Amino acid sequence: MELKRIMAEGKLKGVKVIHAGPKQKFSPSSLLDGMSQGWLTMADGVITVRNADGADVQYRVVRTPGYYCCHCGEKLPGDPAVIDGPEGAAVRKKHVEDSHRGKKSPDPENPSGYMGTNSFKGVLISGKGEKATPSPKSKRKVRRSK
Ligand SMILES: [Zn+2]
Protein backbone atom coordinates (compact mmCIF):
# COMPACT_ATOMS: atom_id res chain seq x y z
CA MET A 1 0.00 0.00 0.00
CA GLU A 2 1.31 3.37 -0.95
CA LEU A 3 0.12 6.44 0.87
CA LYS A 4 0.96 10.09 0.50
CA ARG A 5 0.72 12.32 3.53
CA ILE A 6 -1.20 15.52 3.08
CA MET A 7 0.35 18.25 5.13
CA ALA A 8 -0.96 21.72 5.81
CA GLU A 9 0.81 24.27 7.98
CA GLY A 10 3.14 21.58 9.26
CA LYS A 11 0.31 19.31 10.35
CA LEU A 12 -0.87 16.03 8.92
CA LYS A 13 -4.30 16.55 7.37
CA GLY A 14 -4.84 13.06 6.02
CA VAL A 15 -3.53 10.61 3.50
CA LYS A 16 -3.99 10.09 -0.17
CA VAL A 17 -4.06 6.46 -1.29
CA ILE A 18 -1.71 6.14 -4.25
CA HIS A 19 -1.97 2.39 -4.56
CA ALA A 20 -3.72 -0.37 -2.64
CA GLY A 21 -3.00 -3.99 -3.47
CA PRO A 22 -5.40 -6.93 -3.11
CA LYS A 23 -3.66 -8.03 0.10
CA GLN A 24 -2.07 -5.91 2.77
CA LYS A 25 -0.20 -6.46 6.01
CA PHE A 26 -0.59 -3.90 8.75
CA SER A 27 1.76 -3.74 11.69
CA PRO A 28 0.10 -2.90 15.03
CA SER A 29 2.16 0.31 15.15
CA SER A 30 0.94 1.43 11.70
CA LEU A 31 -2.67 0.83 12.79
CA LEU A 32 -2.12 2.83 15.97
CA ASP A 33 -0.47 5.63 14.01
CA GLY A 34 -3.34 5.74 11.52
CA MET A 35 -5.99 5.70 14.23
CA SER A 36 -4.31 8.36 16.34
CA GLN A 37 -3.70 10.52 13.28
CA GLY A 38 -7.31 10.13 12.19
CA TRP A 39 -6.93 8.53 8.76
CA LEU A 40 -7.60 4.94 9.70
CA THR A 41 -10.35 3.12 11.55
CA MET A 42 -10.76 -0.49 12.57
CA ALA A 43 -14.19 -1.88 13.37
CA ASP A 44 -16.08 -5.14 12.89
CA GLY A 45 -13.01 -6.80 11.43
CA VAL A 46 -12.57 -4.16 8.75
CA ILE A 47 -9.69 -1.71 8.44
CA THR A 48 -10.72 1.48 6.65
CA VAL A 49 -8.15 3.88 5.27
CA ARG A 50 -9.76 7.27 4.82
CA ASN A 51 -8.63 8.42 1.44
CA ALA A 52 -8.47 12.21 1.21
CA ASP A 53 -8.51 12.00 -2.56
CA GLY A 54 -11.07 9.40 -3.61
CA ALA A 55 -13.00 6.48 -2.24
CA ASP A 56 -12.00 5.01 1.11
CA VAL A 57 -10.04 1.79 0.95
CA GLN A 58 -11.23 -1.13 3.06
CA TYR A 59 -9.55 -4.36 4.02
CA ARG A 60 -11.22 -7.27 5.78
CA VAL A 61 -8.92 -8.65 8.45
CA VAL A 62 -8.27 -12.31 7.70
CA ARG A 63 -5.44 -12.88 10.16
CA THR A 64 -4.52 -11.19 13.42
CA PRO A 65 -1.11 -11.32 15.11
CA GLY A 66 -0.39 -14.66 16.72
CA TYR A 67 0.86 -18.16 16.11
CA TYR A 68 -0.65 -20.31 13.38
CA CYS A 69 -0.31 -23.93 12.36
CA CYS A 70 1.32 -24.21 8.93
CA HIS A 71 -0.62 -27.42 8.22
CA CYS A 72 -4.22 -26.43 8.99
CA GLY A 73 -4.06 -22.69 9.73
CA GLU A 74 -5.45 -23.07 13.24
CA LYS A 75 -4.57 -20.25 15.60
CA LEU A 76 -2.35 -21.52 18.39
CA PRO A 77 -1.80 -20.08 21.88
CA GLY A 78 0.76 -17.40 22.57
CA ASP A 79 1.84 -13.98 21.38
CA PRO A 80 4.87 -13.74 19.09
CA ALA A 81 5.58 -10.25 20.46
CA VAL A 82 6.14 -11.73 23.92
CA ILE A 83 8.69 -14.37 24.82
CA ASP A 84 6.56 -17.00 26.51
CA GLY A 85 9.12 -19.61 27.45
CA PRO A 86 9.20 -23.33 26.74
CA GLU A 87 5.64 -23.98 28.00
CA GLY A 88 4.04 -21.93 25.22
CA ALA A 89 6.20 -23.54 22.57
CA ALA A 90 5.33 -26.97 23.99
CA VAL A 91 1.60 -26.31 23.57
CA ARG A 92 2.12 -25.29 19.94
CA LYS A 93 4.36 -28.25 19.23
CA LYS A 94 1.77 -30.55 20.80
CA HIS A 95 -0.85 -29.38 18.32
CA VAL A 96 1.48 -30.08 15.38
CA GLU A 97 2.48 -33.48 16.76
CA ASP A 98 -1.07 -34.53 17.69
CA SER A 99 -2.81 -33.28 14.55
CA HIS A 100 -0.14 -33.65 11.88
CA ARG A 101 2.12 -36.39 13.17
CA GLY A 102 4.93 -37.38 10.83
CA LYS A 103 4.08 -34.73 8.26
CA LYS A 104 6.75 -32.38 7.10
CA SER A 105 5.99 -28.69 7.59
CA PRO A 106 4.48 -27.26 4.40
CA ASP A 107 6.46 -24.09 5.10
CA PRO A 108 10.22 -24.65 4.72
CA GLU A 109 10.85 -21.39 6.56
CA ASN A 110 9.04 -22.77 9.58
CA PRO A 111 10.18 -26.37 10.00
CA SER A 112 8.50 -26.53 13.43
CA GLY A 113 5.15 -26.65 11.62
CA TYR A 114 3.84 -23.40 13.07
CA MET A 115 4.63 -19.77 12.49
CA GLY A 116 4.28 -16.50 14.34
CA THR A 117 3.22 -13.19 12.87
CA ASN A 118 3.09 -9.73 14.40
CA SER A 119 0.98 -8.20 11.66
CA PHE A 120 -2.67 -7.97 10.69
CA LYS A 121 -3.37 -9.39 7.26
CA GLY A 122 -6.20 -7.93 5.23
CA VAL A 123 -7.82 -8.56 1.88
CA LEU A 124 -9.14 -5.65 -0.14
CA ILE A 125 -12.93 -5.44 -0.14
CA SER A 126 -13.56 -1.91 -1.30
CA GLY A 127 -11.76 0.93 -3.03
CA LYS A 128 -8.88 0.45 -5.35
CA GLY A 129 -6.99 3.52 -4.41
CA GLU A 130 -5.63 3.74 -7.90
CA LYS A 131 -6.06 7.41 -8.22
CA ALA A 132 -4.26 8.17 -11.42
CA THR A 133 -4.73 11.22 -13.54
CA PRO A 134 -8.47 11.54 -14.09
CA SER A 135 -9.43 10.38 -17.54
CA PRO A 136 -11.95 12.58 -19.27
CA LYS A 137 -15.14 10.80 -20.20
CA SER A 138 -14.70 11.73 -23.85
CA LYS A 139 -11.67 9.45 -24.02
CA ARG A 140 -13.64 6.41 -22.96
CA LYS A 141 -14.46 3.85 -25.55
CA VAL A 142 -17.97 4.41 -26.82
CA ARG A 143 -19.83 1.66 -28.54
CA ARG A 144 -21.90 2.78 -31.41
CA SER A 145 -24.36 0.69 -33.25
CA LYS A 146 -24.22 1.08 -37.00
ZN1 LIG B 1 -2.76 -27.82 12.55
Can you give the residue ranges of every domain in the chain? 2-63+118-132, 66-117
What average pLDDT values come out for the chain (146 residues) when binned by 10 residues? 93 93 95 96 97 94 96 95 86 97 96 96 83 47 55
Ligand 1 ion: nearby residues, β-carbon < 5 Å: 69, 71-72, 74, 99
Name the pTM for this structure. 0.76
How remote is the CA of residue 29 from the centroid of ligand 1, in Å? Answer: 29
How remote is the CA of residue 71 from the centroid of ligand 1, in Å? Answer: 5
Give the whole-angstrom CA distance, residue 139 versus residue 146.
Answer: 20
Q: Burial, 16: exposed, middle or buried (Cβ in 10 Å; 0-12, 13-18, 19+)?
A: middle
